[in-house]
Chain A
Amino acid sequence: MRLAVWLALGLMVAGWAVPAWGQPPGVRTGEVIPRDVREMYDRGLQYLASKQDENGTWSTGGPEAGPGGTGLALLAFLASGEDPNYGIYSNVIRKALRSIVKEQDPTTGIMGSSMYHHGFGMLALAEAYGAVDERALWGGEKPPRSLAEALELAVRGAVTSQKKNPLGAWRYSPDATDADTSVSGAVLVGLLAARNAGIEVPDEAIDKAIRYYVSMTSEGGQVAYSGIGGFDDSLARASIGCLVYALARRKDLPQFAATTKFLTSRLEDGGGSAYPEYTRYYQAQALFQADVAAWEKWNKLLVRQLKPLQQSDGSFRGQWGPAFNTSMSLLALALNYKFLPIYER
């Protein structure tokens, strides 16, 4: 009966295949998750579960604490295939989700202190929407708004911010007149996830943002950060570019081909970048979307690189706070489960 409810709900809101909760995750794709990936992932989740604050957030240090950080941790739980409503982490998931909704500005719809938070928070809301049973979400508490309302509000906040922006993209402040491809990636992926979840996102918003990315992508597939020129070998940004083209169903663009080529020819450069966790997070999704065979190769390397970084408590070593590093690292691995709707190809 439960299953039926979810199937109905899922079909109703999005039209994408709703996972058969409760079954071993591997069943879904017919592949077995490698044992070391499963072990690493489980230990990472256990760590995150143990470090969640009572208010649902993770504050293990670093500026990353906030709806974005909460959202990424929440995504890590959702991505593993654990039942969000009845599984062992259902409470963790509910607490995190409540925290994100509560952090949302009821007027502007903006979540958190920067558009990074807003983007990742929106992505988490979109992925949770339809998967989490809202009847059990708030307990006795009065919900400020439903997940659908929160997501719609978040989309509106992002689109409003974009409209104010002459470049048609985003930067840290919702009122910025400047843009960069890193913040914009967080927001745009959030918007695309919301659209996948059935929330109305104006085509114009997506098109404008993609135009911005096209302007920032070189013929060689490099994606610049901000301003003019400045193409470098950032794998993180090339991955963001590649990912947004794919998620926006714009694989027809030459920029998609260029970024794909850029990435697939640099599979081994991995964590050499300045932001290894961030890079791996996007590289995983971009490669998976653009070239599954390349992703499979790269994924082996990823497992190899992450293994020694995991600490005895299950957290991952990295340049951010341990919770954020752990969320990011788990989400890089999460493509092995192919579970989140945003990972649909």
Chain B
Amino acid sequence: MRCRELCRWAVMVGVVGTAVGAAGEEPAVVRVAGGGVCPGRLMASDDPGVLVWQGEAFAGPFRFAAGRVESVDWRPVQPPPRPSGAFRIELDGGDTLFGELVHLDGEAAEVDLGLQGRLRLRRDAIRRMDRWGDGSALVYLGPTGLSGWKSEPEGGWRDESGRPASDQPGSVLSGAVGMPARAVIDVELSWERRGDFVLVLGSGSDDRATRRAFRLEVWNETLVVVRETETEADLAALGGLASGAGRLTLRMYLDQEAGRLIVVAPDGALRADLTVEARHPVVGEGVIVENVGGDLRLDRLQVMRWDGLLPEAVADRGRVVLKDSAAVAGQVERMEGGSLVVRDGEGRERRLAIGEVAGFTLEGRAELSGAEVRLVYQDGSRLSGALRRIGTETVTLERPGVQGLVELPRAGLRSLVWLRGSGGSEEVTGQARLELDDGTRLHGRLVDGEGGPGQSCLRWHPTGSSLAAALKPGVAGRIVYREPPPVVDPPTQPRVAIRRVRPGAGPLMVLDRFRMALEASRDAPRHPRGPALYLRSGDTIPCQVTRIDEEGVYFNSPMTTSTFVPHAEIKAMELAPLQLRVLVGKVKRERLLTLPRMQKDSPPTHLIRSRSGDYIRGRLVGMDGETLRVELRLEERQIDRREVAYVIWFHPDELEGAQAAPAGGNQAPAERGETRLQAVRSDGTRLTFRAERLTEGVLKGRSDVLGPCEVVLSEVDRLILGASVEREAAELAAQRWKLKPAAEPRIADAETGEGPSGLESSLVGRPAPDFELELLNGGRFHLAKEKGKVVILDFWATWCGPCLQTMPQVERVAAEFKDQGVRLVAVNLQESPDEIRGMLERHQLGPEVALDRDGVVAHRYGANAIPQTVVIGRDGVIERLYVGAAPGFEQALREALRQVVSGDGAKEEEPGAADSRRDQ
């Protein structure tokens, strides 16, 4: 015993050797003040005031001031490891450990934590120990991403490094976590901007049960717990939620049968104790989290079976609960020979075998002072303290109640959370923001840099870091200096529009036109005033176009010394303002962009719009100072250049189903440390180039199209990086003018070998419309009189080639069934008897022909395409309807007749289909 004390509260770290090796290398995400996020790896640091972070997208590390770091989060492992040890040990300040009680005396306890080693704790740091049966009490520990959770609407919640997160208001996340009737629930929620949410505990399978469950809700920035049943309702306020980023950690004791919910703060303080009974208690097994109007992340949820032992906040101290639920009042003094020695109120000692003890309380206080960080492990255990050192494999804390330093393994960590309120978000306003595809979001600024092997010339200095680091080449994303102006809906501002119709101020008009077409554009770029070229890369070059030939466009621009761009790079050219502002409706736009089937192999390459608003499609052959030469329907025409407002280029690879445009060979720059980027300047011009160096706020590089170029950062709204250039370019209005092939007619697939089913028409299953028509050879045909017979109507005309192909087939099949009461009537569409007779003679056909002189019958049978063959059953119901001369038609018709004749019609074959049709 004494020798253990001689250890002077030292911690005995029995780090388990396995599975620790690369623990420090596990990818994680750091969150810093002001909404900063950076995926990467936590590096070792002896200075607890500095967090050294190697971002994934960066060539070197950052050194963040610890005061600005909010948390480091590792990916949750699936399934979460179960902690080992018989007892769940609750310490002051809400810390929780799992382990075996090895020793207990008047001063200290020693616990064996398994993976985290042995820890010797002062008695007054321990609040209680509960037997939890190696996790048998654990019902749910998570979440690990969205698995097991359902998001409504889909995509409303996303997986943010293992934690479900949402910034879509109204997004509901529900999970059946298997909530027992009596449960201890630990929940941690956090948000970046505003916490406005609902948390339902014990939600049921139906709405009613869910409505009657206990709920945490935010009412006017106040967190309340509320329950409403059919008989009563009550609520309690838990406290206010400050605006801005926040984190909520609560422990709740829920007894669904008794209708009681006890809410306790991490420090053990009672926040609410609410009892609202229901007439018929229902045990709901689910949890629902709804992001009502802010943003929200579900960081942690742990559900354990509750043995009913009340939290100390609502119960007296000094009790031991036995496995049979009997409680013994008294103070636990020590452990001796496998028994707890308990002294009761009268001073008598009682020995209780440790194996019989379900739980007991000690002297631990609620609050814990001096804790700066909390380590949370994947198995749910957590320990707070002051951070002393981050090693490659361990984290060292100093914790009251533990003498000396606690060295804990990094393996198995889930989060490292800084506990003081987040500060410093005000410092990031006015800073630029780096947003990368890997999720990086860091405020800061670009500092001077030069590209080299493995690093680009873009060196990012995040706010709060003492070090800048170069982006790796080829990283995709953007740097935002100024937010784009809000989209102004042009139709609501007609006056502005009219005022803009001044000479020389017009180009905006055209661009508004583009903007109009940009239905779901996320940002409405400002545009340069004056004639300009728009490249497919998204570049906008204000310029005077001097001429166009078959190679490309020649121009003069103040922006570049280059004077030529090949056709393949161009998307649009603006020459002059529109004289009138005419909006292009969706229908007109679709028509302008539909490529007729006839032109499929020689699609128009340009769309030209006159200043008066007219459009023509054709091929721009050339242009000089005076005229545009345009090929229209293979004929060349000349257009006065002064009449043209703008020209849009259509490229073959833009067509649907076309092969993607070649990548453009931008792989090489990455190796040379060049980063391809697009500068969006505040005047709306865009310039794409490979950045080579940044010196004193001037970014220099080389454009594939325009040669050497530079931009002054102070004039830049945004820098778009890497692959995002193409992605954003695709969103630009001009780029969305792309031809779309007209729909191809549906042709039955001859290769399947299956004939048409004849069941697709909505007329199938309906009573055949009655009619009476004159017959070619005299007499009349009245359908209603044919009840009891099977009638085939073959709608046709002499000018219809396919009709003449199918008619002999129909005739043949009808003849086969002649003896079984089948009558064929070929309903001719609006032709003279002479014409019909001539044709029948030439083709030696002899069906009975009815004359639908005004086409009324064809209309009733929806015969807007012929040949159309309709089979009417004996009961006067349409059984089959075939359109066109499809392969396999004859056999299909024969089979259909066989079924219809034997009374085995469409309804029997496809009950669902036919019945639903009849119900219509």
Contact = CB atoms under 8 A, between A and B. Distances in A.
Contacts of A230: 801-802, 804-805
Given A229-B843, A272-B597, A305-B602, A224 B633 contact: no
A1 interface: no
B634 A297 contact: yes
B801 A231 contact: yes
B635 interface: yes
B802 to A, nearest CB: 7
Nearest to A222: B801
Given A229-B804, A267-B633, A301 B843 contact: no
Given A229-B804, A300-B634, A268 B599 contact: yes
B600 interface: yes
Interface of A: 224, 228-232, 266-272, 276, 297-298, 300-301, 304-305
Contacts of B802: 229-230
Most buried by A among B601, B805, B843: B601
Given A230-B804, A276-B601, A301-B634, 8 more contacts: A229-B802, A229-B803, A229-B843, A230-B805, A268-B598, A297-B634, A297-B635, A301-B602
A266 B597 CA distance: 12
A268 B843 contact: no
B615 to A, nearest CB: 18
Contacts of B597: 272
A232 B634 contact: no
B635 A266 contact: no
Contact of B801 (A229, A297, A298): A229
A219 to B, nearest CB: 9
B279 to A, nearest CB: 74
B602 A270 contact: yes
B598 A272 contact: yes
B804 A268 contact: no
28 contacts: A228-B842, A228-B843, A229-B801, A229-B802, A229-B803, A229-B804, A229-B805, A230-B804, A266-B598, A268-B598, A268-B599, A268-B602, A268-B633, A269-B599, A270-B601, A270-B602, A271-B601, A272-B598, A272-B600, A272-B601, A276-B601, A297-B634, A297-B635, A298-B634, A300-B631, A300-B634, A301-B602, A305-B601
Nearest to A215: B842
A266 B598 CA distance: 8
B892 to A, nearest CB: 20
Contacts of A266: 598
A266 B634 CA distance: 11
Nearest to B619: A304
Contacts of B803: 229
Contacts of B801: 224, 229-232
B743 to A, nearest CB: 15
Nearest to A270: B601
Contacts of B843: 228-229
Closest 9 pairs between A and B when the two form their complex, measured CB to CB: A229-B804, A297-B634, A229-B801, A271-B601, A231-B801, A270-B601, A269-B598, A230-B801, A272-B601
Contacts of A276: 601
Nearest to A219: B799
Nearest to A267: B634
Nearest to B804: A229
Contacts of A270: 601-602
Contacts of A300: 631, 634
Contacts of A232: 801
Interface string B780-802: 00000000000000000000011
Interface string B187-207: 000000000000000000000
Interface string B566-610: 000000000000000000000000000000011111100000000
A109 B862 CA distance: 56
Most buried by B among A232, A269, A304: A269
B756 to A, nearest CB: 18
A297 B634 CA distance: 5
Interface in B621-650: 631, 633-635
A298 B599 CA distance: 13
A227 to B, nearest CB: 8
Nearest to B798: A229
Interface in B824-847: 842-843
Contacts of B634: 267-268, 297-298, 300-301
A297 B631 CA distance: 10
Nearest to A294: B634
A231 B803 CA distance: 11
A300 B600 CA distance: 16
Most buried by B among A224, A228, A230, A272: A228
A267 B598 CA distance: 9
A305 B605 CA distance: 13
A229 B597 CA distance: 24
A269 B601 contact: yes
A228 B635 contact: no
Nearest to B631: A300
Nearest to B621: A300
A271 B600 CA distance: 8
Contacts of B601: 268-272, 276, 305
Contacts of B631: 300
A309 B181 CA distance: 73
A305 B652 CA distance: 12
A297 B802 CA distance: 33
Contacts of A267: 633-634
B654 to A, nearest CB: 15
B637 to A, nearest CB: 12
Contacts of B600: 272
A268 B595 CA distance: 12
Contacts of B805: 228-230
Nearest to B842: A228
A230 B600 CA distance: 24
A229 B809 CA distance: 14
A304 B804 contact: no
A307 to B, nearest CB: 12
Nearest to B800: A229
A269 B635 CA distance: 15
Nearest to B603: A268
Nearest to B604: A268
B650 to A, nearest CB: 14
A267 B634 CA distance: 8
Nearest to B839: A229
Nearest to B635: A297
B602 to A, nearest CB: 5
Contacts of A229: 801-805, 843
Interface in B409-449: none
B602 A228 contact: no
A77 B597 CA distance: 35
Contact of A228 (B598, B599, B804): B804
Nearest to A231: B801
Most buried by B among A229, A266, A270: A229
A43 B802 CA distance: 43
Most buried by B among A231, A268, A271: A268
Contacts of A231: 801
A223 B600 CA distance: 22
Most buried by A among B599, B602, B635: B602
A305 B600 CA distance: 11
A298 B635 CA distance: 10
Nearest to A298: B634
Contacts of A224: 801
Contacts of A305: 601-602
Contacts of A298: 634
A224 B804 CA distance: 12
A229 B798 CA distance: 9
B809 to A, nearest CB: 12
A224 B602 CA distance: 25
Interface in B20-69: none
A228 B800 CA distance: 11
Contacts of A269: 598-599, 601
B566 to A, nearest CB: 16
